[in-house]
């Protein structure tokens, strides 16, 4: 088998009828390069909708089943609307989608060890639905095969943040992707050795693309976005953003680590290991060159990068006996964070306290705070934001922090971060 094309399409690229048609058009433009692996996210805001189902599942018993059914009915109606606009004979694909919705409904009737296991068991259905629809539509014009990624990407049982088992995954993918076809697979999901569904982290479909590229020794991975390439900041947040034409693997890893939304943090490492370039291109205008992440030495152009993370919580921990914060204290805190899936975006400790800026998950964080209170004195501030400027200048700092109430600042020669609260 010759080196396949690996395409990843996110939720925004398959959000409605016209978007699905556009994806099929892009795939058709490369039909002479088969096999093509098409990694697809859940459609539009479907993952958010399934997260609402999980929150309802984890909530109070009163009215829970009714709320879950209402949410799932809404998800079904959204997708059936797209199907009816795409297909002249929609019965077969309609029945498949209804089966997946019923599978999700059955998942809400089961018991799970914790919230994270329940999350993965329920939320992964969004990708199953989207890929069924995409595979059926693309299959109208070319030979297309649908695969269940849970049977291909094998992981540990760290639900919501599963780690790929590379040997098992490579064997499964290489033994399955053997035809000169278009292969449609789900992003974001995998399964344990006991076949329990797992997810690779929020927005993890990019990482799925990298896993397939690595296992199949692809020449490149292309991620299709609604922007012309990688910008030095989110244009919805920052003004006068600049498109980056090319950027080294290591720099992209740094930006992803700090939260650049264009790339999932785990995506770059497997590509770098095999020197597989990552192309970020626009599904709005597929003829534009986009951005290349690869083995070059310097970004072109060399500009500051701006990253803003909202919905953060600034947590301060001190010992109850006013003793110094020591290594065993930090070890206990990080062990709890790792166990519960808390993401730490910035940390600083002094002699008597440790400060953490974390993603404010409204289900998990209260439980973690309750656990920490048993051993530590806590203070926290919610509704804060984290601004990161990489390759910053004094003028960048002044412009972006004007009027903000800075709660915590941390800097290195290349990167400065500010935790702040808007007035």
Query: For residue range 218-228, what is the model confidence (pLDDT) as tens digits?
Result: 999 999 998 89
Biggest alpha carbon–alpha carbon distance for the chain: 71
Characterize the bridge pairing of strands 246-248 and 291-294.
parallel
Dihedral class, residue 261 (left if φ above 0, else alpha if ψ from -120 to 50, else beta)? alpha
Residue with tokens 């990489």: 390
Taking the alpha carbons of 121, 127, 133, 138 in that order, is the dihedral positive or negative?
negative
Residue 243 · residue 291 · CB < 8 Å:
yes
pLDDT number for residue 1: 66
Q: What are phi and psi of 34, to 5 degrees?
A: -65, 150
Q: Report helix, strand or coil for 380.
A: strand
Of 359, 251, 378, the C-alpha closest to 313 is 359
pLDDT number for residue 240: 87
Task: Summarize pLDDT for 370-400 with one digit per residue, the tens.
Answer: 999 999 999 999 999 999 999 999 999 999 9
> Using omega within 30 degrees of 0 as the cis cutoff, is the peptide bond preceding 35 cis?
yes
Q: How many CA atoms lie within 13 A of 6 on its CB side?
A: 29
Domain positions in the chain: 5-219, 305-421
pLDDT number for residue 14: 96
pLDDT number for residue 111: 94
Q: Which two tokens stand for residue 383?
A: 């509704």
Question: What one-character-per-residue DSSP string does 157-224 give?
Answer: S-TTSPPB-HHHHHHHHHHH--SSSEEEEESSEEE-TT--EEE-STTTHHHHHHHHHHHTT-S-EEEE
Distance CA 286, CA 111 (A): 45
pLDDT number for residue 294: 96
Residue 297 burial (CB count, 10 A):
7
pLDDT number for residue 354: 95
The CATH architecture of the domain made up of 5-219 is: 3-Layer(aba) Sandwich (3.40)
Residue 128 · residue 96 · CB < 8 Å:
no
Characterize the bridge pairing of strands 144-146 and 182-186.
parallel
Residue stretches of the chain with pLDDT short of 50? none
Rounding to the nearest 10 degrees, give the CA dihedral for residues 191, 133, 105, 12.
80
Interior CA angle at 99 toward 97 and 100, to 5°? 65
Distance CA 271, CA 263 (A): 13
- Write the CATH number of the domain with boundaries 305-421: 3.30.2130.10
Of 308, 326, 407, 311, the C-alpha closest to 358 is 311
Distance CA 80, CA 77 (A): 5
- In the chain, the N- to C-terminal Cα span, in Å, equals 59
pLDDT number for residue 132: 98
Distance CA 373, CA 160 (A): 25
pLDDT number for residue 423: 76
Q: Which two tokens stand for residue 165?
A: 């088992």
Residue 194's Cβ-count burial label (10 Å; 0-12, 13-18, 19+) is exposed
pTM over 0.75: yes
Which residues make Cβ contacts (< 8 Å) with residue 298, sequence separation at least 6?
Answer: 248
């Amino acid at each position: 088998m010759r080196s396949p094309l690996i395409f990843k399409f996110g939720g925004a690229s398959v959000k409605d009828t016209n978007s699905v048609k556009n994806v099929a058009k892009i795939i058709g433009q490369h039909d002479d390069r088969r096999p093509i692996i098409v990694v697809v996210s859940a459609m539009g805001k479907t993952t958010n909708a399934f997260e609402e189902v999980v929150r309802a599942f984890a909530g109070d018993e009163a009215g829970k089943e009714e709320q879950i059914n209402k949410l799932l009915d809404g998800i079904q109606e959204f997708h059936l609307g797209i199907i009816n606009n795409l297909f002249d004979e929609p019965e077969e694909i309609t029945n498949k989608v209804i089966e997946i919705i019923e599978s999700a409904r059955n998942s809400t009737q089961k018991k799970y060890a914790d919230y994270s296991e329940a999350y993965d068991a329920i939320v992964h259905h969004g990708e199953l639905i989207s890929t069924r629809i995409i595979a059926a539509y693309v299959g109208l014009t070319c030979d297309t095969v649908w695969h269940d990624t849970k049977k291909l990407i094998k992981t540990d049982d760290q639900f919501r943040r599963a780690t790929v088992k590379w040997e098992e995954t490579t064997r499964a993918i290489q033994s399955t992707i053997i035809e000169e076809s278009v292969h449609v697979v789900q992003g974001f999901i995998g399964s344990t050795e006991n076949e329990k569904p797992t997810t690779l982290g929020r927005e993890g479909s990019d990482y799925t693309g990298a896993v397939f590229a690595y296992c199949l020794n692809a020449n490149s991975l292309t991620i299709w976005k609604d922007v012309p390439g990688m910008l030095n900041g989110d244009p919805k947040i920052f003004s006068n953003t600049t498109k980056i034409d090319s950027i080294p693997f290591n720099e992209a890893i740094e930006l992803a680590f700090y939260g650049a939304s264009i790339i999932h943090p785990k995506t770059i490492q497997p590509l770098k290991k095999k020197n597989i370039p990552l192309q970020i291109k626009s599904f709005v205008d597929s003829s534009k060159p986009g951005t290349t992440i690869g083995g070059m030495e310097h970004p072109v152009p060399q500009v500051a990068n701006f990253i803003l993370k909202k919905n953060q919580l600034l947590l301060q921990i001190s010992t109850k006996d006013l003793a110094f914060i020591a290594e065993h204290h930090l070890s206990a805190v990080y062990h709890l964070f790792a166990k519960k899936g808390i993401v730490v975006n910035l940390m600083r400790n002094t002699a008597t306290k440790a400060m953490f800026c974390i993603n404010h998950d409204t289900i998990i964080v209260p439980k973690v705070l309750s656990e920490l209170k048993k051993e530590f004195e806590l203070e926290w501030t919610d509704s804060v934001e984290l601004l990161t400027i990489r390759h910053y200048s004094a003028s960048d700092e002044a412009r972006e922090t004007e009027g903000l109430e800075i709660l915590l600042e941390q800097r290195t020669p290349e990167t400065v971060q500010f935790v702040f609260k808007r007035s």
